[in-house]
Amino acid sequence: MVHLGRILSRATAKPYRTSHLESDESLYLNENGHVDFKDGDIENPHNWSAARRWYVTICSVLLVVNATFASSSISGCFGSVSEEFGLSEEAAGLTITLFLLGYCAGPLIFAPLSEFYGRRWIFYSTFLLYLAFNFLCAFAPNFGSLLVGRFLTGTFVSAPLSNGPGVLADLWGPVERGNAMAVFSCMVWVGPALGPIVGGFLQLTKDWRWSFYVLLWLGGVTALFMFTIPETFGPMILVSRARRIRKAKIPGYENVKAPVEEGDRSLVGIYKVALTRPWIILFDTISFLCAVYMSVVYTLLYMLFSIYPIVFQQTRGWNAGVGELPLIGTTIGACIGAIIVIFDSKHKSKKIAAGTQLKPEDRLTLAIIGGVGFPITMFWFAWTAEYSWIHWAVPTVAGVFLATSLMLIFVGYLNYLVDSYLMYAASAIAVNTVCRSACGAAAPLFTNYMFEALGIGGGGSLIGGIATLLALIPFAFYKYGERIRIRSKFAPTKPTNPDDEEAQRKQNEEKTAAPRTDLPPRVSSSSSTVIGEGG
């Protein structure tokens, strides 16, 4: 009989060698007769080597860096855009506005598609389209073409932003995921801060088109790594395994299916949930207040790219390149925030290991710290930036801790949403992403007018005042969150360890799953591959 192991094994971007596949006596099926992962299954992403999982994580983060860097890179070249097309700088800000509006497509369009076709094919297709439309931006003959290109590039590059956390969940267990998520979240803040710095220096020596040449070079290098990303979505790996078995027409296994193939896997069914449930959850108390807070945080992030030029270029007379360098402080602040997140994750992991039962409200520690730090650092930044005789390092250092505070708020509330809504977390995060992206899109349109009218100190104080009011939200959730969740239709209220949901599900599957011994032998249980007799 022909050796079929290599034929049925995955052919591309495979995280193992076919020679490493095991050859057991029977195919592993669960109690329902579905193809499933067995304990230690080499095709299960959770069982890949740590080095392989970190490599895939870094590749996914590189895609995110492209998305976030591209969002703000042209902000350092607004002057050049205005000069070439005869526009105001506020009109040039539409290039960021439309890009961020494109972000709204990610959780509503590409996240559901990844459940249907898998993660990597969505990455491949959307990122290549992102690169293609960046050519339109780089060689735009008029401002309208540039705006269309920016909206389409923002739309297609939103896929890594919305599917990136899903990849981390595919690869890492609840306890291990903290470090990977800290790196991912850090890049969400570092990317936008680096964009204006590069753009500012390009403004001095070249023109705005060079910002897109840089994006194309960065994207080209990233694409080489992207094509090495294997499929990480467990249900789709099982679907692929079941299809390979059916295609081989193995006696007794002609109709074997993966678990998800038994449900409604039509695009209509997937989108019916993806486009309706998030908006219902939005008006749930916890989801709504988190959306409001994170929208303010995200809006301020993109306001900073207009505020810093006002502070360091208009007030202090620095040029377009050097005037963006203080934004490096915000990248340092984001990295500090990531370090704090990692230590917090380790601290909570020790509690879990000790048997402590954690409630979703226990995730609010980071948000409380960030919530207190947000108004303090905002007032610090605003009133030290107001006067040019104060050394430039003082507002720059304030920006460091402001970025740290915003990062902690961002991560703290994302964790709280996940642990509060559990099986509905994807919908809660999806609508949260849409809301904060839409609000961030408005930032370039009003920031200059706001600070011209109120001044740096006054404008910053307005933001600080709003931040002071919002700082009450995490304290309120910490004290009354469980009572609020009792009234929610979507948030479970049983005070069990949120991080154990995945582990408990896996344990239940292992308890109920058993190998089927009543079916033909000589089928590999780890890879669903047939090994020919005598082969």
CA angle 462-468-474, nearest 5°?
Answer: 140
What pLDDT sits at residue 126?
Answer: 92
What pLDDT sits at residue 473?
Answer: 92
DSSP string, 264-306: --SHHHHHHHHTTHHHHHHTSHHHHHHHHHHHHHHHHHHHHHH
How much is the average pLDDT of 443-447?
87
Dihedral of the CA atoms 102, 105, 110, 112 (nearest 10)? 170
As a whole-number percent, the residues of the chain with pLDDT over 70 amount to: 84
List Cβ neighbours of 467 (8 Å cut-off, separation of 6 or more).
Answer: 296, 371, 374, 375, 378
pLDDT band at 103 (very low <50, low <70, confident <90, very high): confident
What pLDDT sits at residue 520?
Answer: 41
Give yes or no for residue 42 having a pLDDT over 60.
Answer: yes
CA–CA separation, 57 and 169 (whole Å): 10
What pLDDT sits at residue 533?
Answer: 36
pLDDT band at 278 (very low <50, low <70, confident <90, very high): confident
Give yes or no for residue 432 having a pLDDT over 90.
Answer: no
What pLDDT sits at residue 89?
Answer: 80
pLDDT digits (tens, 9 = 90+) for 338-353: 999 888 888 888 887 7
pLDDT digits (tens, 9 = 90+) for 165-192: 888 888 887 667 777 878 888 888 888 8
pLDDT digits (tens, 9 = 90+) for 116-170: 788 888 899 999 999 999 999 999 999 999 999 999 999 999 888 888 888 888 8
Range list of H helices, 172-256: 177-205, 209-226, 234-248
3-state secondary structure 255-268: CCECHHHHCCCCHH
Give yes or no for residue 532 having a pLDDT over 60.
Answer: no
pLDDT band at 523 (very low <50, low <70, confident <90, very high): very low
Give yes or no for residue 507 having a pLDDT over 50.
Answer: no
Dihedral of the CA atoms 84, 89, 90, 94 (nearest 10)? 50
Cα→Cα distances 374→220, 338, 368, 402, Å:
37, 16, 10, 6
CA–CA separation, 123 and 247 (whole Å): 26
CA angle 402-405-407, nearest 5°?
Answer: 110
Nearest to 449 by CA among 93, 79, 77, 76: 93
What pLDDT sits at residue 425?
Answer: 75
Dihedral of the CA atoms 35, 171, 225, 21 (nearest 10)? -40
pLDDT digits (tens, 9 = 90+) for 313-335: 888 888 877 888 888 999 999 99
Least confidently predicted of 27-36, 395-404, 427-436? 27-36
CA–CA separation, 282 and 109 (whole Å): 18
Would you say 172 and 54 are in contact if contact means Cβ atoms under 8 Å apart? no
What pLDDT sits at residue 184?
Answer: 83
As a whole-number percent, the residues of the chain with pLDDT over 90 amount to: 26
pLDDT band at 464 (very low <50, low <70, confident <90, very high): very high
pLDDT band at 504 (very low <50, low <70, confident <90, very high): very low
Least confidently predicted of 146-150, 157-161, 364-368, 507-511? 507-511
Least confidently predicted of 34-48, 70-84, 271-285? 34-48
CA angle 269-116-257, nearest 5°?
Answer: 95
pLDDT band at 90 (very low <50, low <70, confident <90, very high): confident
Give yes or no for residue 381 having a pLDDT over 90.
Answer: yes
Would you say 300 and 440 are in contact if contact means Cβ atoms under 8 Å apart? no
What pLDDT sits at residue 528?
Answer: 34
Out of 203-212, 247-256, 296-305, 460-469, give the one with best mean pLDDT: 460-469
What pLDDT sits at residue 409?
Answer: 92
Q: How deeply is 216 buried, as exposed, middle or buried, from its count of CB atoms within 10 A (0-12, 13-18, 19+)?
A: middle
Cα→Cα distances 302→95, 250, 455, 460, Å:
13, 57, 18, 14
Q: Which two three-digit tokens encode residue 240?
A: 């692929």
List Cβ neighbours of 416 (8 Å cut-off, separation of 6 or more).
Answer: 286, 290, 360, 361, 363, 364, 367, 477
pLDDT band at 218 (very low <50, low <70, confident <90, very high): very high
pLDDT band at 512 (very low <50, low <70, confident <90, very high): very low
Give yes or no for residue 524 having a pLDDT over 50.
Answer: no
Please, what is the average pLDDT of the chain?
A: 81
pLDDT digits (tens, 9 = 90+) for 465-489: 999 999 999 999 998 888 888 888 8
